[in-house]
Amino acid sequence: MAFSIYDLTSFNQWVDKGLNSVMSPLWATITEMAIIGVVFLLFYAVVGLFLVYAERKICGFIQCRVGPNRVGPYGIFQTIADFIKLLMKELVPINKADKFLFNLAPFIIIIASMMALAAIPFAKGIHAIDFNIGIFYILAVSSMGVIGILLAGWSSNNKYSLIGAMRSGAQIVSYELSVGLSILTACIMFGSLQLSTIVESQADCWLIFRGHLPAFIAFLIYMIAATAETNRGPFDLAEAESELTAGFHTEYSGIKFAFFFLAEYMNMFLVASIAATIFWGGWMPLHIGHWTGFNMVMDFIPPAVWYLGKTAVIIWLMMWFKWTFPRLRIDQLLTLEWKYLLPINLLNILVMALVVLMGWHF
């Protein structure tokens, strides 16, 4: 069987056929699930370590300094050294904390982001699970992370943690509306909630070009709201160091703190993946009209490279956003959502519906 880097469906079928030939269908399915789980865990760890290093370097570049440069060439092993240090750190017990909920909270956040990541189409043939309501599934499971944040803040028996958790709850619940409505604007164009269908619909033209002004406005609102929903600067009121020491994870140490730290970067990767999939065509190459030669050259680039490249650009925009703008106050944060983003989003949905109804799109 011939395998292709442009379509890994045949490879997946080969693995499935091989497992079914040596074991029962039940055990073959269990083995496939275990393989996918291990791959996702490794991917989770590698991406988290890389994004921490990338943020430090980008932050250093924006602030005209070097960034990590001691552990390994250009400091590439700095995040690995930090991870080993966190693994070896003592887990400090907290007096009068609710031990069960205190220990449960970081796992809820990690599990929520892992479940959402499973529905992302990385390339043609690399898709763990393809729901026909993929968008709805991602919005549902990713929003469960706020439960872990609220539990962490409440169970820590610390006023700073509780204030940070309350801020985060108000922030995530508020900006979840704008995230959902901006994605819904895109779904009006596609007429589907299935991510594979959404990607294939952009084979000739990505949504951000195809949907004209409403699609561009939806993308901008999504970027602002998604940055706020992931508690990243300038919307990091939930863990503002100058006010709350560390917010909802003030009392956490060692590997439990590492879970919160890793989940923040994986959530950033997740929202960037969704933006790349819905607005920038996912793993589809860039095609321009009847430029046959240019389109053929673009088709030579593997789909996984397109997906990772688009996601990396959006992550870079989010990091640039964080290290450029000053932190907002909590009242400014909620005013931005309820008085500006939400009304603009509702109007934009109507405009997109009119564009689709009248056929004013590519």
Are the C-beta atoms of residues 204 and 247 closer than 8 Å to each other?
A: no
Confidence of residue 307 (pLDDT cuts 50, 70, 90): very high
Other residues' Cβ atoms within 10 Å of the Cβ of residue 36:
13
Q: Which of 1, 26, 13, 353 is nearest to 184 (CA)?
A: 353
- For helices 159-190 and 134-142, the axis angle rounded to 10 degrees is 170
Burial of 62 (0-12, 13-18, 19+ CB in 10 A): middle
Q: Give the alpha-carbon dihedral of 44, 49, 55, 56, to 10 degrees.
A: 170
Please check the confidence at residue 189 and state whether its pLDDT lies above 90.
no
Provide the pLDDT for residue 223. 93
Give residue-wise pLDDT tens across range 6-47: 777 888 888 888 888 888 888 888 998 898 889 888 888 889
What tokens were used for 337?
A: 């959502």
Q: Looking at 33-42, 87-96, 176-185, 309-318, which range is the least confident one?
A: 87-96
Calculate mean pLDDT across residues 310-332. 89
Calculate mean pLDDT across residues 281-290. 85
What tokens were used for 246?
A: 């560390």
Please check the confidence at residue 344 and state whether its pLDDT lies above 60.
yes
- Residue spans per domain, the chain: 7-87, 89-358
Give residue-wise pLDDT tens across range 293-302: 888 888 888 8
Please check the confidence at residue 347 and state whether its pLDDT lies above 90.
yes
Distance CA 257, CA 253 (A): 5
In angstroms, how far is CA 272 from the centroid of its own chain? Answer: 5
Provide the pLDDT for residue 345. 93
Provide the pLDDT for residue 280. 92
C-alpha neighbours within 13 Å on the C-beta side of residue 114: 18
Give residue-wise pLDDT tens across range 214-227: 999 999 999 999 99
What tokens were used for 287?
A: 């095609």
Provide the pLDDT for residue 240. 65
Residue with tokens 């960034």: 67
Residue with tokens 């929903």: 229
What tokens were used for 30?
A: 């269990």
Residue with tokens 């959530």: 267
Handedness of CA 198, 199, 201, 207 (dihedral sign): positive
Rg of the chain on CA atoms, in Å: 22
Confidence of residue 242 (pLDDT cuts 50, 70, 90): low
Burial of 272 (0-12, 13-18, 19+ CB in 10 A): buried
Provide the pLDDT for residue 362. 63
Give residue-wise pLDDT tens across range 63-120: 888 888 888 888 888 888 888 888 888 788 788 888 888 889 989 988 888 889 888 9
Kindly report the average pLDDT of the chain as a whole number. Answer: 86
Provide the pLDDT for residue 217. 93
Calculate mean pLDDT across residues 179-189. 90
Please check the confidence at residue 158 and state whether its pLDDT lies above 90.
no
Provide the pLDDT for residue 82. 86
Provide the pLDDT for residue 2. 56
Give residue-wise pLDDT tens across range 159-173: 888 888 888 888 888
Cis status of the peptide bond prior to 121, with omega within 30 of 0: no
Read off the pTM. 0.90
